[in-house]
Amino acid sequence: MLFPGAVKTKLPNTGTTIFTIMSALAKEHGAINLSQGFPDFNVDPKLISLVHENMLAGHNQYAPMPGIPALRDVLAQKLESCYGTKIDSEKEITITAGGTQALYTAIAATIREGDEVIVFEPAYDSYVPAIRLHGGIPVQLQLAAPDFQIDWSQVKKAVTAKTRMIIINTPHNPTGMVMTGKDMQQLEKIVHNRDIFILSDEVYEHVIFDGLSHHSVLSYPKLAERSFVVFSFGKTVHATGWKTGYCVAPENLMAEFRRIHQYMVFAVNTPLQYALASYLAEPSTYQNIPAFYQRKRDLICQLLSKSKFDILPCFGSYFLLLDYSNISDEKDTVFAERITREHGVATIPVSVFCKNPPKDMRLIRVCFAKEDQTLAAAAEKLVAINN
Ligand code: PMP
Ligand code: GLN
């Protein structure tokens, strides 16, 4: 029985996320799933044991609202050693139910009716709906293939008196672009003397290649003072299903973040927080990630070198873009659906991450956070695609 009053949607132009659609399609057709971004290998057994031990030790009730102090202390040390910045673990870090909740809460804390938010596209798909739900106006700037660098003169032109936030994401999903120190300086100039927050999505902070270093806004004091910075344990410990992450922001911004967080989730999974606190105290747990994923990136690139796809450069994240112009002129959504059905590999069509995708864009995204055998089996199928 349906409730008699019509439900007036708050998100009229938003359907089901592409991750749900493509993972379901992969399942339906028994296809190898390189669409939704998640590892198909297991979490370190040491970490699993730590979770178990903490459950047995009785850490099973509500955690303190901002997260357990031991985890926040370890994170403050980690942030200082990685980005050279001192973070007050009591006032400036909140543990969240994944990066997505941190992004949403930061937007909820700051964006009001009519505020403009600059978003670079292709963009992770949770930003725009969160902006709209709070009455904000997304100002979507399209990044151009093949390198997807930010055009700062375009950003300068897009800034108005109503601009309240700029969302950046480095390393970038889905393009693999990473921002440089020069980008950060340009961003500093643009926000200087303006009432603009930065929401910096750094969930792939450790998934960066070719000797490049991750430029966190936390290393740039003039940016950090106005930034909410979002991280995800899902990426750092290969456990996307744990949906745990954290947000870092200066005390005054974090106070507003927590005002909402306390009524959104109150607190997140206690035994995981204890386990993560012990596990991440050992820096090798994250220091090995760049080499681990670089080998996988190189493997998939080598396996696909015989294919008809053009491989775009990837400097970070665990996603690779493939241009299929040599194979088909179908729309990417049609192509991605067809190769799932006919060739048994599920991927993500990139246009769904863009408001105004270029007409000639023929790109799909593959996730290479997979076992070598999965990558080899998927590559064999992709190499066989001729039309
Ligand atoms: N930002 C980006 C760029 C992502 O790719 C993801 C996907 N996992 C998230 C945020 C959300 O992270 P979480 O799964 O921890 O919510
Ligand atoms: N971040 C992952 C991706 O980009 C998936 C997130 C999700 O399923 N919502 O594929």
Reported as a single tens digit per residue, the pLDDT across 110-136 is 999 999 999 999 999 999 999 999 999
Q: Residue whose CA is closest, atom 3 of ligand 2? A: 37
For ligand 2, atom 1: residue with the closest CA? 37
Q: Which atom of ligand 2 is nearest to the CA of 20?
A: 8
Q: How many C-beta atoms surround the C-beta of residue 132 within 10 A? A: 19
Q: How far is CA 119 from each of CA 47, 215, 298, 377, rounded to the nearest angstrom?
A: 36, 19, 30, 36
Domain-by-domain residue ranges, the chain?
18-43+288-383, 59-285
pLDDT at 281: 97
What is the reported pLDDT for 6? Answer: 78
State residue 96's pLDDT score: 98
- What's the length of the chain? 387
Is the per-residue pLDDT at 2 higher than 90? no
Q: Which atom of ligand 1 is nearest to the CA of 124?
A: 3
Residue 4 has pLDDT above 90, yes or no: no
Given pLDDT bands bounded at 50, 70 and 90, which one contains residue 7?
A: confident
Reply yes or no on domain 18-43+288-383 having CATH 3.30.43.10: no
> What pLDDT is attached to residue 286?
96
Atom of ligand 2 nearest to the CA of 19: 8
Check if 18-43+288-383 and 59-285 are the same fold.
no
Q: How far is the CA of 152 from the centre of ligand 2 (A)?
A: 27
* Residue 40 pLDDT level (bands cut at 50, 70, 90): very high
Q: Work out the angle at residue 43's Cα, subtended by the Cα atoms of residues 42 and 49, and round it to the nearest 5 degrees.
A: 125
pLDDT at 331: 97
Distance 372 CA to ligand 1 centre (A): 23
Q: Which ligand is nearest to the CA of 350?
A: 2
Q: How far apart are CA 56 and CA 271, in angstroms?
A: 9
The residue contributing the CA closest to ligand 2 atom 9 is 19
Supply the pLDDT for residue 13: 86
pLDDT at 1: 63
5 confidence band (pLDDT: 50, 70, 90):
confident
Which ligand lies nearest the alpha carbon of 367?
Answer: 2
Tens digit of each residue's pLDDT (9 = 90 or more) over 199-240: 999 999 999 999 999 999 999 999 999 999 999 999 999 999
- Residue range 59-285 in CATH 3.30.2270.10: no
pLDDT digits (tens, 9 = 90+) for 252-287: 999 999 999 999 999 999 999 999 999 999 999 999
Closest C-alpha to ligand 2, atom 2 = 37
Pocket test for ligand 1, best of 229, 232, 243 (most atoms within 8 A of CB): 232
pLDDT of residue 253: 98
The answer on pLDDT for 382 being more than 70 is: yes
**Ligand 2 geometric centre to CA of 34 (Å):** 11
Q: How far is the CA of 100 from the centre of ligand 1 (A)?
A: 6
User: Which tokens hold the place of 139?
Assistant: 């100002």
Q: Which residues have C-beta atoms less than 6 Å from ligand 2?
A: 17, 19, 36-37, 173
Query: Is the Cα dihedral 65, 67, 69, 70 positive or negative?
Result: positive
